A and B are shown apart, each in its own frame.
Chain A
Amino acid sequence: MWARAVWLGLRASAGGRRGFPSKAAHQGSRRVTAELIEHLERLALVDFGSQEAVARLEKAIAFADRLRAVDTDGVEPMESVLEDRCLYLRSDNVVEGNCAEELLQNSHRVVEEYFVAPPVCLFGEIYERN
């Protein structure tokens, strides 16, 4: 079963390269596993509920897969349109600040000059989704 899932995954990426998004989406459901969704929801800290997340993500991936058709051999990635210029750096002098009180006012939970966060769970918590 596992080997078959891998084979279908390979078919899906081949289909993508030929630019058939609907095909990839159909086989993409093997690619977008429940584990992947859970992993993503954990990383992103947003949730949808499995079925809906899978559907939305599949569409997004299928759409993005169209990029495979572009030949980018020898092309460098572009991070910024201003790449030919030097980023401006300010001199390392303190010119403003001292506004801790103002900033703390925007938080819901504050103790003295600390923002209060709940404890980090150390033992790999399984948090429940709706």
Chain B
Amino acid sequence: MLGRTLREVSAALKQGQVSPTELCQRCLSLIKKTKFLNAYITVSEEVALKQAEESEKRYKKGLSLGDLDGIPVAVKDNFSTAGIETTCASNMLKGYVPPYNATVVQKLLDQGALLMGKTNLDEFAMGSGSTDGIFGPVKNPWSYSKQYREKRKQKSHGENEDSDWLITGGSSGGSAAAVSAFTCFAALGSDTGGSTRNPAAHCGVVGLKPSYGLVSRHGLIPLVNSMDVPGILTRCVDDAAIVLGILAGHDPKDSTTIQDPVKPFTLPSLTDVSKLCIGIPKEYLTPELSSEVRSLWSKAANLFESEGAKVIEVSLPHTSYSIVCYHVLCTSEVASNMARFDGLEYGHRCDTDVSTEAMYAATRREGFNDVVRERILSGNFFLLKENYENYFVKAQKVRRLIARDFVNVFNSGVDVLLTPTTLSEAVPHTEFIREDNRTRSAQDDIFTQAVNMAGLPAVSVPMALSSQRLPIGLQFIGRAFCDQQLLTVAKWFEKRVQFPVIQLQELMDDCSSIFENEKLASVSLK
């Protein structure tokens, strides 16, 4: 049951094949068994069971709220959840209990979803590994998959199997791991520079970044107001579309949401791609790109072409500057957004009470890790009067050029762009931490952050396993507010590539009851 799609489970719930309480308990049990992944910061067991009880009552009366009623979901810990601790994986907010729900959380709850818990992340969503939070790093479930372990056994014998576990990517690594390990059917992430798509690619799940302005940011603790977007992580494209349909729409509490009416939609099953034009941005072919990802990217392009689509090379000339531009704009907005953490109204407060400045400085030194503090410091530099024009305004101008690059490409007849999501498959933690957070972010965000600067929708779809039997995903980028079209193409692709299901049975032998009777689509045992 846990391996099914949202629609299938929803149907099963309606038909009484399984009850919300059973579903909830199985997920809670699986969360306990996969605790070593460190995907969850808070497991809201009581809340979830109570919600399950209420959902069950509704189903018994035949009054289900919709496709998400009774469905376990998880939420990244930078979304405010009323009555449930929200930490952003930082000492600054440890123990902070928001008095309200983020709009997207409220929408999920209004649909009857069961909130399983808050997932782990890099502190304040700054990072590309989900390794820099105060609760420790998140481990990629694929580290423990049968596929990966069998491959490793061939290479090395008798090594400690856990010492070389792989990162999830970030910063929404907890959400990606939670979905990948079947502990929930959908999870919310956030995406400022690729934080939903990156871990989705590394964990073999679908990671959607909707168009900026489509989904409310009210209650999402902000990083970069002009780029942040709530992200959706699911095991298949159809599920992401269902969740998007529920979350999208104008929110009076977020004035940056568009006012155009938005309705939930069903994704058509595209069969004819002959009218589709796929663009391949040539600047994304960088030397750092691993040969395996490059070859899969090429294979994907050929797949579209062989089925009749037009596949052309396009140019996004300012690509090489986008990471620098992002660095300046991000640190500047962060410097401003983090100013609210002064210890007075909420969050951590230091013990000294000598003066406001001393109190603020000590509170922030104690509350923030050095990644956050470094970004604040840099941001303040770029915002100094003498630097404002040359750095901040300059970056804003470059941002326009980057956004324009995309507009030009889409105006030339391209429907969707196809690019890699990450440079390579997930790497071991020991390798990842050899470089600092800023260097890693600059490397890992390379294919994803230009999309945030242009505000476009993008989705990472798992394509195939690498030679190490680890997931590799590819990214589709769509026109602004054409999320439905983007997902339609992604769904077509997903169906063609048949990405294998992760095999975690070995690790959870006494969870076999969850997986028996499952006609899982475990196609080829690669």
List chain A positions with a Cβ less than 8 A from chain B.
36, 40-48, 53, 56-57, 59-61, 63-64, 66-70, 72, 75-82, 85, 87-90, 99, 102-103, 105-109, 115, 117-121, 125, 127
Contacts and interface: CB of A to CB of B under 8 A. Distances in A.
A20 to B, nearest CB: 15
Contacts of A44: 335, 376-377, 379-380
A15 B269 CA distance: 55
A64 B325 CA distance: 7
B40 interface: no
B144 interface: no
A115 B345 contact: yes
Interface in B223-274: 226, 250, 252, 255-259
B393 to A, nearest CB: 5
A111 to B, nearest CB: 13
B377 A108 contact: no
Interface residues of B, number: 70
A127 B361 contact: yes
Contact residues of B: prevailing secondary structure: helix
B349 A109 contact: yes
B480 interface: yes
Interface of B: 96-97, 99, 212-213, 226, 250, 252, 255-259, 318, 321, 324-325, 327-328, 331, 335, 342-347, 349, 352-361, 364-365, 368, 370, 373-374, 376-382, 384, 390-391, 393-401, 403, 438, 442, 453-455, 480
15 contacts: A44-B376, A46-B376, A46-B377, A57-B381, A60-B378, A63-B327, A67-B324, A67-B328, A69-B321, A72-B401, A77-B393, A80-B226, A106-B345, A109-B349, A115-B345
A95 B373 CA distance: 38
Nearest to A41: B377
Contacts of B382: 64
Nearest to B380: A44
Given A75-B401, A88-B252, A107-B349, 18 more contacts: A46-B364, A46-B373, A56-B378, A61-B381, A69-B321, A78-B396, A81-B226, A81-B403, A81-B480, A87-B255, A106-B99, A107-B346, A108-B343, A115-B345, A118-B353, A119-B356, A121-B357, A125-B357
